[in-house]
Amino acid sequence: MDSVDELFTLKTNFYIGLYEQALAEGQGIQVSTLTESSRIERNEFMYRCHIAMGRCQVRYKMLLTDGLRYLSEMICYPLMTTFPTLSPDGLG
């Protein structure tokens, strides 16, 4: 049985860089009809759209994963992001 991807248009718009359209599509999806995993995926794509557009007002506590938080920090606050450095002997 083939399953329908309810998030196809949202994902497609995101991947081709149409972030505003992706957000509009995501907001138009009836969340109550989605499975839990599809709901989480919808939210992640919507947050990724905000991050890609440089909208740093997205609250970190709203981001679902540490990876999205880190990505948001890297893009929105590039000079404030600290990266681990290694000394020449490799001991940190």
pLDDT in 10s for each residue of the chain, 92 residues: 457 789 999 999 999 999 999 999 999 999 898 998 898 889 889 888 888 887 766 655 555 566 666 666 666 666 554 555 545 555 54
How far apart are the two ends of the chain, measured CA to CA in Å? 53
**Amino acid at site 51:** I
pTM (global) more than 0.85: no
How many Cβ atoms from other residues are within 10 Å of residue 45's Cβ?
Answer: 20
